[in-house]
Amino acid sequence: MVEARASRMRTGTPGAEPNRWGGSFGGSAWKYDPQRGEYYLHTFSPKQPDLNWENPQVRHAVYDMMNWWLDRGVDGFRMDVITLISKRIDAQGRLPGEAGGEIADLPVGEEGYSS
């Protein structure tokens, strides 16, 4: 959130979420951040903001972190709900699995990281 607050996508209005996506634990998948004046997406808990996996800089930062741990002898990683890391939004703004939306089977990734 610290890095996210450093840039602005678009101004939000309390009570006017960007769309009607629901969170996995009920309620909206969006949380208004008054300090930033924008909403952020959380597929699960509001304490766990979703990463913008479509952004190559985000993907590479995650890969760098994973390589840091691998260099120190970690054998692997547990990737919870990895199929939800990428949000393939259609022209109507629907998430995968919503009525009429297309289910995305694999996350967007770099060659060698998606297998």
Read off the pLDDT of residues 67-112 as tens digits, 9 standing for 90 and up.
Answer: 999 999 999 999 888 888 887 666 666 665 555 444 344 455 555 4
**pLDDT on residue 18:** 82
Q: Is 95 exposed, middle or buried (0-12, 13-18, 19+ CB in 10 A)?
A: buried
> Which residue is it, tokens 């939004």?
89
- The answer to whether 37 touches 22, Cβ cutoff 8 Å, is no
DSSP 79-105: -TTGGGSS----TT-PPTTSTTPPPP-
The Cα–Cα gap between 100 and 111 comes to 29
Considering the domain architecture, whether residues 62 and 105 belong to the same structural domain is answered as yes
Q: Which of 50, 70, 91 is where one domain is finished?
A: 50
Is 5 within a domain? yes
Considering the domain architecture, whether residues 1 and 27 belong to the same structural domain is answered as yes
Model confidence over 9-18: pLDDT tens digits?
Answer: 555 666 788 8
CATH number at residue 5: 3.90.400.10
Picking from 109, 111, 81, 110, the residue whose alpha carbon sits closest to that of residue 97 is 81
Whether the pLDDT of residue 115 is over 50: the answer is no
**pLDDT on residue 98:** 55
Q: Quick one: tokens of 36?
A: 């930033």
Average pLDDT on 15-44 reads 87
Reduce the DSSP state of residue 17 to 3 states and report it. Answer: coil
Whether the pLDDT of residue 4 is over 80: the answer is no
Domain that holds residue 101: 51-110
Is 115 within a domain? no
- pTM of the model as a whole: 0.63
